[in-house]
Amino acid sequence: MTMRSGFVCFLCAVAAVSLAAQDRSYGRSVVSTPYGIVATTWVQASQAGARILEQGGSAIDAAIAANAVLNVSEPMTNGMGGDLFAIYWDAKSGKLYGLNASGWAPQALTIDHLKAKGTTSMPQTGIDSVTVPGMVDGWTKLHDRWGKLPWRELFQPAIFYADHGVPVPEMIHDYWAPLDTELRANAESRRVFLPNDKVPTTGQLFFDPELANTLRLIADHGEDAFYKGAIAQAILKTSAEQGGTMTADDLAQYSAEWVEPIHTTYRDWTVYELPPNGDGMAALEMLNIMEQFPPDPAGPHSPGELHTRIEAMKLAYADVKNYDGDPRFSKIPVDQLLSKSFAATRAKAIDPAKANCTVAPGALSGSDTTYLTVVDSDGNILSFIQSNYSSFGSGIAVDGMGFVLQNRGGLFSLNPQSPNALAGRKRPLHTIIPGFMQRGDEHIGFGIMGGWNQPLAHAQFVSNFVDYHLNIQAAMEEPRFTVNAKLGCNIVIESRVTQASIDTLTKMGHQLEVRKEYTTAMGRGQVVLHNSATGINYGASDPRADGAAIPELPKFPGAQY
């Protein structure tokens, strides 16, 4: 071999190694830092949260600031008229805390009340779909317990953006555009959210000065402004004008609730969700069923693996829809539904070669949302989710306040025998769920929003990470499937799943609606990971959204701030 040919071979070998190292099936790199990370669906919201961390704020402070900014930039998905749930991991004590800040139905909103109006099914929009918003009380309880910065400081970024405008992100525009007709049904919604009487274009500055003033009231007077003061009066006036039932007591007596997270083990990881009235137990049951089968060596979007996941999802969803509700009104059989023996029994219903199009709940003995997560430099993790339920919730904007009321009451049942039957001061079944998982020194806050998509998206993420050893960014980006409104064997799936897998699944009886490579139908997720042995934090953000995982910057010596 000549020197020249040997050198060429060397270059080829180096190039092959370099290309192999650079080739990967996901688009973004994991963010890593010994400092804090804020991961949200809008870059500027993540930046606002990171700035709060840089000012000495806690993970709670950063999340509240980021969520308030998202109230401005994503008014259809989240806002003060909605609810929130949170899981907080305290790094020093190793203890996990849960907060259920979902609101209850007005006392007079009952099945009999709706029947007297001739209503035969639970309204999905309008004033009778509105429940008391829990978000502001949720913010307050979190800040009272773990906040470091003064309450007022947390709202200044959101007030600035509401006053000075936010350029509408491309995916948020895509949520906004189909809602033109719905927004016109309510004069206040039309005025606020159709500037110049049309949906704002991508990149157009959207201003919400009334929301800026509402945020100032919250910043200056705390939650009393919302539940007893000027904002409460505006909510009650709006409700009365729409023929609603909400009273001053419904607002003033509301309180979010501290709850104990529920959990299961998946392989050698412990995965946590919040208890009912949320549907996080569907994610845990789905994982328990999936655990009865070995991971398919062909990979996470092989037909065998996808078939197992899809069938496990159907079984878990049938159970949660049949048995879930507000535990203050009905006994919810969480322990039975999450037992390994129940999962083993349910798993026997899965035919490895054929899709099941009609799934009944197991026999027992005895929409639109925003998710964000924060890890601070001490390793504390907040997994946080907040929602209006459907896009722009009930469709009813509060007069002069710049936000809409949620339609979470639409999830109640009018069947008196259901554990989720409508009743005054009762909380409906909820679809928004924050997630958390840990093993040894690794602790992960994660969530993937999107209505009934959430439990199955959680289970897919956990399996991608645990079974296939993908990093948190790759596990989030991996092609997913989700539920179809038609139910049965109808499944929505991303086109990045190979055609061979799609063809095989179709032959097994799955009826697939194939969407583009990255569709928001799969939900939009965020993840942070803290390694307590190394002190390094990691963050990832779903490319199905307009956001990013933004790290806190340290204070650089000699820098002028």
Show the tokens assigned to 247. Answer: 């009273």
- Report CA dihedral (544, 156, 378, 32) to the nearest 10 degrees: 30
Tell me, rounded to whole angstroms, the distance of Cα 529 from its chain centroid: 17
Residues 6 or more apart whose Cβ sits within 8 Å of residue 432: 83, 84, 85, 278, 369, 371, 385, 386, 387, 449, 454
What's the per-residue H, E or C state across 107-175? CCCCHHHHHHCCCCCCCCCCHHHCCCCCHHHHHHHHHHHHCCCCHHHHHHHHHHHHHHCEECCHHHHHH
Beta strands 368-375 and 31-33 are unpaired
Q: Which residues 6+ apart lie within 8 Å of 261 measured at CB?
A: 87, 96, 97, 98, 272, 273, 274, 275, 436
Q: 408: which DSSP letter?
A: G
In angstroms, the CA 394 to CA 352 distance is 42
The DSSP secondary structure of 412-424, one letter per residue, reads -BS-TTSTTB--T
In whole angstroms, what is the distance from residue 81 CA to residue 310 CA? 34
What letters, b where the CB count within 10 A reaches 16 and e where it falls short, cover 343-371?
beebbebbeeeebbeebebbeeeebbbbb
DSSP state of 96: E
Q: What's the residue count for the chain?
A: 561
Contact between 264 and 284 under an 8 Å Cβ cutoff? The reply is yes
* Interacting residues of 476 by C-beta distance below 8 A, sequence separation 6+: 448, 461, 525, 526, 527, 540, 541, 542
The structure tokens listed for 552 are 């806190």
DSSP state of 186: S
Question: Three-state DSSP class for 31?
Answer: strand
Q: How many helices (H) and strands (E) does the chain have?
A: 20, 19
What is the phi/psi pair of residue 359, to 5°? -115, 125
Active site residues: 369
DSSP H/E element including 538? strand 537-541
Query: Sign of the CA dihedral 408, 475, 340, 382?
Result: negative
Q: In what order do the strands lie in the sheet with 511-515?
A: 481-483, 490-494, 511-515
